[in-house]
Chains A and B, each alone.
Chain A
């Protein structure tokens, strides 16, 4: 989410309760900010399980297949710059001996692509965000829990949303408009 109304809550239970209430009121574009994952918040906000794993798997498989084939080619054939390396009369396509490097390549590729995908879907690194301007937000990584209702939400209305946030028990509420493009 970008800018919107941010409400500060004292603990995880109040955060989840408030998120549920907003959901019931018909808000859809919300996010929560918290020092550690709170049980039940994903359900309350209607967030689904991440499916990044499905993106990493095919990338890793491509790496595994290409590394295995590359070794068969470079050590097993004389074509296109390969060199059939005959050590102790062992065959060129001795794939069991290529398994360790193939495995390591699969792990390396999964790790790197997983990290890059994580950064991509989270929009990180991003050092400036409207949330950081919400009141007391430096406690969001320490001991306070925040709900942000996006100004792009269909139901969003600065004053009303602020009032609703107060009614749900927020100790501080602030309206931070998003960056203008």
Chain B
């Protein structure tokens, strides 16, 4: 069998349906139960540390002047970035008519949703008094004040809330036909009732499909500029300030490329074990893995170019504080935590170049390892940008070193567990490979073969 096929074998519609829907009712895989327990416990750890931070205050964290933004903002940017690949796969690749998006789009969209949920936690906790979180939104307050709409932080609030809502609706619209299939195929009555309610009475009517497909396409059209805007706006949190190392015009495209880069890596990190555990190798084929690896290579090269540009402009601009931050503190290793910067360069600029070679793209162990390294690298990039810049700003008398506390680490690792916890629940309760679209693709490819 060639490694170029998007669907292996020639399953009938009924076989395909049973295969893709059955994770919802077949007995649990042992690994799934183990993962459920571990990630559930980890999520509890997140709630404990987050609750403690709310009750006691964020003095529990390592943040202190001059490093007022640290793990909270790093993790926020990191998680939002991871979410971007989901939207990129489901929206941009749909508009570009890339057939390989079909099997993996639902999976990637769910990843987006759960990643944005983790991201949203951090600014909220960082406020210290999260119960006043709604102050960022304009409402007729008795204090007679309004948010400063010229500031990047209300932009952020608008972007993240729009991004989450649109991603959720896009995901749900795509799910409706598959929920109807679950309603019609599930063995237990209770499942039929619950899936039936969420399927809204969908019956695959041709009259509905013509509207449905238009709206689905419209969501793709909306999500495409949206995904580019969200990380651009996030980057403006930094770029609109004057901190050396932050005040840079390359930030919006640089952040978007980095976001998609880390998101594709996370898709691979999750997909490689999931396709194995649920035996989906025939619909998520090596062709999908290969294409994702190529996307990582492309976006990795854009990220590398952005690093180069950032340093070049610092040097060419010749401004002393900027030069000190970029050159001395990072490149010449005079600032604290310079190791993180070198780790970033290794993981983001050197490692992805292995994907030039087909052999590496075809070896799942290598691919999985690289996908982890890319995520480490992208976390390191955000650490470098945020912490290494703040540690060394204009006045040497204000310089200090940042060190995270165990509460910082607890919340950060807790979100990874919580994210995985939500994800494995998703794998079990809804078809993570979109059934309706895979069937359509199958019929389309069948037609194509016949007409040749």
Query: A: which residues have CB within 8 A of B?
Result: 1, 12, 31-39, 41-42, 45, 47-50, 52-53, 56, 70-71, 74-75, 81-83, 85, 87, 90, 94, 97-98, 100-101, 103-105, 107-108, 110-112, 114-115, 117-119, 121-122, 124-129, 131-132, 137-143
Contact = CB atoms under 8 A, between A and B. Distances in A.
Nearest to A148: B205
A111 B17 contact: no
Interface size classification for chain B: 35 or more
Contact of A74 (B146, B173, B180): B146
B165 A112 contact: yes
B204 A141 contact: yes
B65 interface: no
Contacts of A141: 177, 180-181, 183-185, 202-204
22 contacts: A31-B206, A32-B205, A33-B205, A34-B204, A35-B181, A36-B440, A36-B443, A38-B206, A75-B148, A75-B150, A81-B144, A83-B146, A87-B148, A90-B150, A94-B150, A103-B229, A105-B158, A108-B165, A131-B205, A141-B180, A142-B185, A143-B12
B158 A100 contact: yes
Given A50-B214, A97-B149, A131 B203 contact: yes
A104 B440 contact: no
Contacts of A126: 200-201
**Chain B interface helix/strand/loop/mixed:** helix
B162 interface: yes
B215 interface: yes
A97 B331 CA distance: 34
B206 A34 contact: yes
Given A74-B138, A127-B197, A110 B222 contact: yes
A111 B447 CA distance: 33
Nearest to A122: B208
B218 interface: yes
B146 A39 contact: no
Nearest to A68: B149
Nearest to B236: A100
A49 B210 contact: yes
B83 to A, nearest CB: 16
Interface of B: 12-14, 17, 138, 140, 144-146, 148-151, 154-155, 158-159, 161-162, 165-166, 169-170, 173, 177, 180-181, 183-185, 196-197, 200-215, 218-219, 222, 225-226, 229, 233, 236, 436-437, 439-440, 443-444, 447
Contacts of A37: 206, 209, 213, 440
Of B197, B204, B211, B443, the most chain A CB neighbours within 10 A belong to B204
Contacts of A121: 211
Nearest to A111: B166
A140 B204 CA distance: 7
Contacts of B155: 100-101, 104
Given A94-B150, A112-B165, A47 B229 contact: no
B443 A47 contact: no
B241 to A, nearest CB: 12
Contacts of B210: 42, 47-50
A46 B201 CA distance: 24
Given A35-B439, A103-B229, A143-B17, A52 B214 contact: yes
A65 B301 CA distance: 39
Given A112-B165, A114-B215, A140 B146 contact: no
Given A52-B211, A90-B150, A105-B162, 14 more contacts: A41-B206, A52-B218, A56-B218, A94-B150, A100-B158, A101-B154, A104-B226, A107-B166, A108-B165, A122-B207, A122-B212, A128-B201, A129-B201, A141-B183
Contacts of B439: 35-36
A150 B444 CA distance: 29
- Top 7 closest pairs, chain A to chain B, by CB: A143-B13, A125-B200, A32-B206, A50-B214, A138-B184, A97-B150, A36-B440
Nearest to A124: B200
A132 B210 CA distance: 20
B439 to A, nearest CB: 4
Nearest to B13: A143
A6 B54 CA distance: 60
A127 B17 CA distance: 22
B365 to A, nearest CB: 35
Contacts of B201: 124-129
A24 B51 CA distance: 68
A39 B214 CA distance: 15
Given A81-B140, A100-B155, A39 B447 contact: yes
Of A45, A49, A140, the most chain B CB neighbours within 10 A belong to A140
Contact of A101 (B149, B185, B197, B443): B149
B207 A31 contact: yes
A129 B437 contact: no
B211 A122 contact: yes
Contacts of B206: 31-34, 37-38, 41-42, 45, 47
Contacts of A105: 158, 162
A146 to B, nearest CB: 8
A175 to B, nearest CB: 17
Nearest to A131: B203
B200 A111 contact: no
Nearest to B218: A114
B229 to A, nearest CB: 6
Of A81, A103, A112, A128, the most chain B CB neighbours within 10 A belong to A103
A42 B233 CA distance: 41
A119 B212 CA distance: 9
A140 to B, nearest CB: 6
A82 B141 CA distance: 11
Contacts of B138: 70, 74
B180 A75 contact: no
A120 to B, nearest CB: 10
